[in-house]
Structure 1
């Protein structure tokens, strides 16, 4: 259920029509309120606003907001394209989920809808003296909101197309995913090593689909395990590529004769297999997306080692923040009957640093900064990460030795690679 909830939230966050539709509905409700006031309340004092006054304001707003909304959409899409072309296509779903631009466009379209509906109410005669007062002050409020939104949005859209803005958004997502991984290494189940094997009497459950493991619904697996009183041992991890007929789980420690085809289908459905990795649960994908931005900056066509160093700084912040959060929360397991293989530290660190270590080996400033970053991260993460971090440092040093020619450059990298020497 959590996968469908996260997928729904991600889907809605990426849709550009949702907020404008909601704001349009709110605008209609405000005008409907003005119509209702005429029928329910009478003013105890003499106060009247001429229809021409409100009609003029609404006409100006309606004509201006349609133009502004169209302009805002074109600018926003151009900013998205510029941001993705400067980073990586994998960051598109994160960048397009930006709420500020959609908030601005929703405000403009909502103001346009409000103006049109208000004009209809005035011209048809639905809104009388009491309602015109409500509509007048509502128009002033909408006008103030539109002006404030436009000023703020102009400043925001100037930043959204920059690489630093994309890095910030991807960094936040990577920190969230890594923190969740450190707190729930077994996704809520009992974490086990990937090479852990079941007993000989274990009953295998085969995948009904071909693709990539996107989500493991531990709650659903735990419900089934509790009903039948068995242990469910998941055989795959997030991001694993499986084929139809591949073993994805084992069942043991219970009445295996109670496992029928329906139970196997429930287990197969709980281990969701899709076309590609899903960003809502996968820390490796989030870290790889962040690393790809730095790797792209190292391409010969861009040749921007400074951005690669910025990515290394962002990765340091991601690992340190996630480690701090996991130390405060601790590692948790809510479903002891479900065993889930953990994503080992080697895979996480490889996703984060291998691309930059490989393509940045010929840049002395990147090679040195990478060694410093690994050393800082080693002081934040638990002891289980020490050996994989040393392996990453040693690999990066070997790549730098093969890529760098000048003795001084190589000496700088060797001096920075203190982690590899331990």
Structure 2
């Protein structure tokens, strides 16, 4: 009987009742009488081949692939229904449609007992008890803490409308505005540096504006410490911290962290700045290349600020700034979640806003402000580089007419805005990019 069934099963493909590998009816009837299916060939065992009347099988040439796929599937850690909770193997070991590739079935001659195919993979232990389908409590607490510690960061070029956007969001979300503009940190030139007016300060709390005297020097590390302190103070009161400014390196330092570079004494910084002015940029860059070729190779010869910074760090610490930058960064606190918004108007609109804002500054007394500041300013002060001040100072000194000074100041503002746009597009990852001020769109992502 068995030989007859083998011959029927392996009849020619063109024979009736056996097209496309269908089993012979006699074979199906006999299998029903026995009450069990014929087990599949295991990988590596001979399998019957159509067209062989002798019933001899051919060696399976693909056993490793199928076995590997089945073993990998069995080893996969399965998540419970819904996609939440820890990895669990409960459904993998359970029969039926719960994840087992070959569902278990009842054997008709076993008295109703369940029987399953042999399992050739490792025995997997599943989590026990009610904690098998839940995330660890510590993970849930961290997730909740992060969602409660949101910090809004608004960046963009000068004259783009950042301050107005921050004020609108602060009024809607009970926010505290924290300054991230390197020029607005100083208690001088409030008109030329576009510091918030008295009405704006009355509408919402403002922090770190006019914080330092004009002769002070504020590094990015010092500003970061001040900003983090103000953020924690705002969160303690239940307010939303809104960090706004156009100094991109400040924002990047706050979000991504900073290498632990020691502070440089103010006297040494002034001395090196004087040497740079005396030597000029090309000669100063060449001198730095002899002392610190690794850092000099990274800097443009006319990037005055970074050249002076590299020299002063080398002089103060005896170590290259490039070596300091390779150290692990001091990352921000883990409980803070930064939501970044970048305001990038179209270039034509941005340039128009730059020109119009400087005209408004002139009507608000920028010339008289610059005249007063000239009586006490020193060339080494950072505020001496504020947009518009060098041109107005040249006019006050009789070197330029007022019309030419205004045109040059507006051109300098546009050029600076262009550089800022390039930086924000490539250096700061944003959650939302706006072409115009839209407080509703910002509040939607908080």
Is the structural similarity TM-score above 0.5?
no
Could you state the TM-score of these two structures normalised by the residue count of structure 1?
A: 0.26
Structure whose CA Rg is larger: 2
The structure carrying a bigger helix percent of its residues is 1
